């Protein structure tokens, strides 16, 4: 399991990376902070860094609305990509899908956007070996790294796009599966004719850096599946295959990546357009100077389940007031 690096050695670095993210958002995306709320990054004991508001925020106020830096559909139970738009991750009905070179989209706009960012590379590849590897190991991160690599080859992203995010310490020695999936990705690109020069960024150390960041920064894109009567049968079958999950895929979002966890958060993570565009909304009134907190897991679960899941996935046992109170009642 990946572990966070020692907090005491990374406090300043985490804060500096957080400030870089805020500057990047402020300069590159006017809609990322639609209410012009002033935010700042501070050191937080035992968590490294946290995101705080300088202004009071009202219940229901929107702090952030933006598409992900990189996103990718998830794999269904059969190992094939979910029946969602390959660009915006929206579920679509059987009669509304648009297929282009074995890649599905919800419409012309998403196909055009994909063509500019990743489709020109992806349509040349046979990705079945990488998808099968992910299905066999029940993992999703290699598909995101692959999508980022396609964007880099299309000159629509930098190999350093994720460098401002916090990262987990890679295990030593590296898991064999990491080396395998890197080899698979590199191999399918070389087989498609990409030269060593064009793939110079795609080294094993680069791949490991991306994976170590994705492990603690990826969000599941939870969307509502279509309820058109014509789609009920296929939707029901999909629900059986995925355990009823509404996860269309995964994405990396800059601002929420700086927020720490609480089982009683003050910020809701929403997908109001039922696609990959995320919205952060205040779930209660928030005072100036408060830390902004989201939940990393299902906050409705039992405290022991929540703590176990957080320990396994993120390397910490939650000590938020809610967890401490609920744990005290079962001792």
- pLDDT tens, position by position, 185-229: 999 999 999 999 999 999 999 999 999 999 889 999 988 876 654
The arithmetic mean of pLDDT across residues 165-181, rounded, is 89
For residue 127, give both structure tokens.
């990705």
The arithmetic mean of pLDDT across residues 81-108, rounded, is 77
Three-state DSSP state, 2: coil
- What per-residue confidence (pLDDT) applies to 34? 55
Determine which of 1-10, 31-40, 310-319 has the lowest per-residue pLDDT on average: 1-10
Determine which of 16-25, 43-52, 209-218, 257-266 has the lowest per-residue pLDDT on average: 16-25
The answer to whether the beta carbons of residues 74 and 276 sit under 8 Å apart is no
Q: Residue 3: pLDDT above 80?
A: no
Q: What is the pTM of this model?
A: 0.81
Three-state DSSP state, 100: strand
* 284 beta partners: none
The answer to whether the beta carbons of residues 53 and 258 sit under 8 Å apart is no
d(C-alpha 127, C-alpha 103), whole Å: 11
Q: Residue 22: pLDDT above 80?
A: no
- 295 confidence band (pLDDT: 50, 70, 90): very high
b/e map 191-207, b = 16+ CB within 10 Å:
eeebeeeebeebeeebb
- What per-residue confidence (pLDDT) applies to 37? 85
DSSP 9-74: HHHHHHHHHHHHHHHHHHHH-GGGSTT---EEEEEETTTEEEEEESS-B-TT-EEEEE--SEEEE-
- What per-residue confidence (pLDDT) applies to 98? 60
Which long-range contacts link 172-175 to residues 24+ away (Cβ below 8 Å)? 174/208
For residue 177, give both structure tokens.
């599966």
The arithmetic mean of pLDDT across residues 31-39, rounded, is 66
- What per-residue confidence (pLDDT) applies to 2? 47
Q: Residue 16: pLDDT above 70?
A: no
Q: Residue 12: pLDDT above 80?
A: no
- What per-residue confidence (pLDDT) applies to 316? 84
Q: Residue 242: pLDDT above 50?
A: no
Per the model's pLDDT, the better-predicted residue between 182 and 26 turns out to be 182
- 94 confidence band (pLDDT: 50, 70, 90): low
The arithmetic mean of pLDDT across residues 64-76, rounded, is 90
Q: Residue 264: pLDDT above 70?
A: yes
- What per-residue confidence (pLDDT) applies to 226? 67
The arithmetic mean of pLDDT across residues 72-81, rounded, is 70
Instruction: Walk me through the domains of the chain, giving residue ranges and CATH numbers.
Output: 3-66+254-302 (2.170.270.10), 70-252 (no CATH)
- What per-residue confidence (pLDDT) applies to 99? 62
- What per-residue confidence (pLDDT) applies to 79? 52
> CA nearest 261: which of 234, 299, 227?
299
DSSP 135-177: HHHT--HHHHHHHHHHHHHTTSS-TTTTTTS--EEPPSSPPHH
- 62 confidence band (pLDDT: 50, 70, 90): very high
Determine which of 8-17, 121-130, 212-221 has the lowest per-residue pLDDT on average: 8-17
List of residues 6+ apart from 25 with CB closer than 8 A:
32, 33, 66, 254, 255
- 169 confidence band (pLDDT: 50, 70, 90): confident
Mean pLDDT for all residues in the chain: 82
- What per-residue confidence (pLDDT) applies to 272? 93
């Amino acid at each position: 399991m990946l572990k966070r690096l020692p907090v005491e050695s990374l406090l300043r670095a985490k804060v500096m990376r957080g400030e870089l993210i805020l500057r990047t958002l402020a300069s590159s995306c006017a809609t990322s902070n639609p209410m012009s709320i002033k935010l700042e990054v501070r050191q937080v004991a035992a968590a490294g860094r946290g995101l705080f508001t300088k202004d009071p925020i009202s219940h229901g106020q929107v702090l952030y609305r933006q598409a992900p830096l990189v996103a990718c559909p998830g794999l269904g139970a059969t190992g094939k990509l979910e029946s969602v738009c390959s660009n915006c991750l929206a579920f679509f009905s059987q009669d509304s899908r648009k297929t282009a070179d074995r890649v599905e989209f919800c419409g012309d706009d998403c196909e055009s956007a994909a063509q500019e960012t990743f489709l020109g590379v992806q349509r040349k590849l046979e990705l079945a070996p990488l998808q099968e590897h992910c299905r066999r190991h029940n993992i999703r991160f290699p598909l995101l790294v692959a999508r980022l690599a396609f964007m880099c080859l299309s000159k629509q992203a930098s190999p350093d796009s994720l460098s401002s995010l916090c990262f987990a310490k890679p295990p030593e020695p590296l898991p064999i599966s990491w080396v395998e999936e890197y080899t698979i990705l590199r191999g399918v690109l070389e087989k498609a004719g990409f030269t060593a020069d064009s793939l110079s960024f795609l080294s094993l150390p680069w791949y490991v850096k991306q994976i170590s960041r994705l492990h603690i920064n990826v969000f599941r894109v939870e969307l509502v599946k279509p309820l058109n009567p014509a789609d009920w049968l296929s939707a029901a079958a999909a629900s059986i295959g995925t355990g009823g999950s509404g996860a269309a895929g995964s994405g990396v979002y800059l601002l929420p990546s700086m927020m720490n966890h609480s089982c009683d958060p003050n910020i809701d993570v929403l997908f109001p357009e039922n696609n990959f565009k995320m919205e952060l909304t205040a779930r209660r009134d928030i005072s100036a100077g408060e830390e902004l907190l989201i939940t990393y897991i299902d906050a409705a679960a039992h405290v022991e389940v929540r703590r176990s899941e957080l320990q396994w996935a993120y390397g910490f046992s939650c000590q938020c007031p809610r967890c401490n109170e609920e744990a005290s009642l079962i001792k």
